[in-house]
Every structure is written in structure tokens, then in C-alpha cells.
Amino acid sequence: MVARVLVTMTSMKQPRPSYITLSYQQPYDWKSHLAFLAYRSIPGVEVVKENSYARTISMDGIAGHFRVEFGSNSNQIQAKIQFPELKQRHHIIERIKSIFDLHADSEQIDKFLAKDKLLKPMVKKFPGLRVPGCWSGFEVAVRAILGQQVTVKAASTLVSRISERYGQKYDCNIEGLTHVFPDAKELQGAKMENIGIIRQRISAIQLIADLVASGKLVIDSTIDMKEFVDQICAIKGIGEWTAFYIAMRALNEPNAFPFSDLILRRALTEEELTPKQLLTLSEPWKTPASLCGDSAMEELWGNYSKNECQEEKGMTTYYHYHTTPIGKLLLAGNEGYINQLGFPSGSMARKHKKGWIKDRIPFKEVMFQLDSYFDGELKDFELPLAPVGTEFQQAVWDALREIPYGETWSYGELAKHIGKPKASRAVGAANGMNPIPVIIPCPRVIGINGKLTGFGGGIKIKRFLLSLETKDIVPDINLS
């Protein structure tokens, strides 16, 4: 069904807002759609409320904004577009349709997916889920890169810092819209220092910015998905999960399926599936018209997240004790993120808490990478982390991950790196509060005189870890 558009024309000399009515086919779970966008909204760029979505936009270097509002008693949304160039109105409308997947025929999609015995109960429980699109493919790519190893909210904060530093300031009558997200040309060569982004992520963003700005990489529906995935995965630090997620939202590619996603692998069956198993199960969800792949994924995400919320108000924390050369380490986390690693003794010693669920499955990848690290085969951890701390502590912990493998920095050098050269003591305190040592490598920080100084896991463990990285391996740590 083609969305119906009603436009209120205004003066060409002083363009006033254009008011548009867009219709859609039922069923449409627009509340879940808005919730998805709200959870990932960029402060300053997007504002999402109970029944509305607003954001700043830019086309050909010209800034504007729009706001859409859903009505509870109709199959229409009302859009208000504020943009100086009326000739761009049609393109803006098309992007709004893409963001809210208004072209989808949910009734037919739900009927098709309900033929699958695994998806049928989810479709019945959550009818009308649609795939959120985006305003800018480049923006989604930046967001996806920053979200690889941090929580969704932490990624939103990092993206907001980029828009504040490099984006155009914007003033309008919608509270909360203050900046326009920078385009690829504006981020070419951007150093992005001291805003909590690790070097590898900065490099990946810069490479994408260069490719997009030069026209060598296109991130929209005009490009073939396989070509896009192959091209973007050639960039260091970008894997298939990131590529398929971008394709899903920016390419409007219905068969883009991030089959390695942890939530998707847990949502379909009681046992956690391997990526290959999930990919095999998802094959029947594809249709000749390629309408249903992403909708199936939304069913899985929606079913898993809503069930988790219904089971308890807070998040479930899982834990496991993993045997390593430095003793049994406590691993703890939730929502697919690691937020604690505890040593067996010292001030960084931690034990699981009452109510936590013992389960080794969520930590398979963590254990594999830790074992590879202690075997001397892994230098950089690639894990989703969610350490809890103040903004200053987060800045210090982000900076710790910038210290190269096998090297050490002093507290003063670390303080200078985060732009706080006089805060050596505060940096030391934050270093000592690091909740995920080893993975966030606080042992790499030493005193200005070269001494190892204190360490929450004990000096013996610190010496062992530094010796491990410099290949001068201590044969027996002798923790007794």
C-alpha cells in the first residue's frame, strides 16, 4: 500500500512548516517502533516521546528538522517538516517513510512468518512489528561501530559527543534538538580525541568517512547487500554483525540478518544457538519477494526483550568462575555485556551476589579470549563491555584501552591523554576502581619512576601480566 500524502503548501519566500499526513496498513506496533528508536536516540539530534519522534536533518549542507506524531485511533501519522528548501520535501517524506517502514504490508508478512512453528507464537503475541530504518546510512554506520563493545546507552553518549564537537549547532522550538549530526566530509580527518572513543573505532569511522565522502562507498538502498557487506568488512574492526545491522537499517535490505547476534541466538529456543544454527533456521523466513527476513528478526528481538522485562523489573546478572593462570576469575554481566571481572584476592577480589544466575554459556567468548590472551596469542580483546562508573572514570577506562599491548604508561601520561594533566591522583583512583581488569588493562599503568606501584589484584599478578605481554613469562606465579 502506498502511503497517502497530504501537503500544506506555504510561501516560497519564507518557507513555513509543511504539514503531511502519512497512512499505513494495520497491524502496526508503532509503540514498539518508537521504543526502539528512543532507546537508541542521539541526545541533541533526536527526541522521542510516548507518541512522537523528532530529529534534526541536513541535506546538501542545509539544516532543518521534522516531527512526526502517531494517533491512537487511526492508521495515520502527522508529520511537520521545517526545511528551507521546498524542493527537498519529497526526499524528506521518503526518508520518513523509511524510518517508520510505512511501505510494509504487516498483515501479509505476519501471515507468512506464522507458517513457521517457532515464530508463530511470537507473531501472535507481537503482531505488526516493523524494521526501523534511518535518516542517514553514514550516521547509522558510525553508531554501529561505536556500539560494538559498549552498551546501547553508552554508544548514544559517544555519538552525541561527536555531534556536539563536529556537528552544526541548531536552534528550533523543539526542546532537546540542539545539533545536526555531521556528514562524512565533516568527519574526514576528525581526531575525535578525549571523548571516550578508542583508537580502533576512530580509525574505522575515519575510513568510512573517507570512503563515503569520496563516493567509493554508498550506504543506502541503491547498493547490493553482498557488495556492501564485502566492502565494509574489509575495514579493520568491522565484522559481519556490524555490516548486517547497517544493511538492515540503512539499505532497507529485508534479508540482512545479523545471525551472530547474541539476543537472536537466545530468543528462538531454550538452548543458545550457534550463529551457523541460527542462520540455517532462518532460511525459510526468506521469501521470493524478500519481505520477511528483517521482520522475523524484529519478532525475535521483541519477544526476547519483552519477556525479559516481564520476568523482572531489573536485568538478570549472570556469572561464572573461570580458571586461569592467575586463579579463578569471576565473570559477571547482563544483556550480553561484561560488567565485572573479579580477582581471587586483593582489593579487586569479587564474589557473586545473591540473585545472580550461574551460567557459563553467556561467557563462552570471554573465556575463549582470556585463554588466548594467557596463551600469548591475543593482544586486543574484542568484547562487549559495560563497566559502571562516573563520566571521569569511564574516560580513564577508555584511555586504558589505548595503551598498546606490551607497553606501559605512567599515571601522568594517562592523565595527559584524557586532557587532565594535573589529575594524576584522580586518574590513579579511577584506575584502581576499574571493574573489568585485564580486559581493560589497568596493569599497564606504572609509577613515574618505573615502579609497579599498587595493584588491586596484587603485585605478583601485575608483574605476571606485564611479563606475559613482554614475552618475559614468569614460569610460576606462586600465588600462595
pLDDT digits (tens, 9 = 90+) for 280-318: 777 776 654 444 445 555 555 554 444 444 333 446 789
Mean pLDDT of 161-188: 94
The active-site residue out of 134, 233, 292, 442 is 442
pLDDT of residue 4: 45
**Cell 533526536 sits on residue:** 46
Of residues 476 and 110, more confidence is placed in 110
66 neighbors 96 (Cβ within 8 angstroms): yes
Least confident of 1-10, 196-205, 427-436, 451-460: 1-10
Residues 20-53: tens digit of each pLDDT: 999 998 899 899 899 989 989 999 999 999 999 9
pLDDT of residue 298: 53
Mean pLDDT of 183-204: 87
Mean pLDDT of 186-207: 87
pLDDT band at 361 (very low <50, low <70, confident <90, very high): confident
pLDDT of residue 297: 52
CATH superfamily of 6-103+134-251: Hypothetical protein; domain 2 (1.10.340.30)
Q: Catalytic residue at 172? A: no
pTM higher than 0.85 for the full model?
no
Q: Is the peptide bond before 43 cis (omega within 30 degrees of 0)?
A: no
Mean pLDDT of 152-163: 88
Mean pLDDT of 358-370: 87
Q: Give every CB contact of residue 420 below 8 A, 6+ residues apart in sequence.
A: 426, 427
Domain ranges of the chain: 6-103+134-251, 318-364
Least confident of 75-89, 118-132, 255-269: 255-269
pLDDT of residue 465: 93
Please state, in angstroms and rounded to a whole number, the distance separating the CA atoms of residues 272 and 117: 18
pLDDT band at 175 (very low <50, low <70, confident <90, very high): very high
pLDDT band at 266 (very low <50, low <70, confident <90, very high): low
Q: What does pLDDT average to over the chain? A: 83
Mean pLDDT of 181-189: 93
Pick from 80, 11, 16: nearest CA to 52: 80
Is pLDDT of 130 > 90? Answer: no
Please state, in angstroms and rounded to a whole number, the distance separating the CA atoms of residues 64 and 383: 38
Least confident of 45-49, 63-67, 410-414: 410-414
How many Cα atoms occupy the beta-carbon half-sphere of 127 within 13 Å? 12
- In the structure grid, which three cell numbers stand for residue 347, read together? 582489593
**Cell 608483574 sits on residue:** 463
Pick from 304, 335, 265, 275: nearest CA to 122: 304
pLDDT band at 11 (very low <50, low <70, confident <90, very high): very low
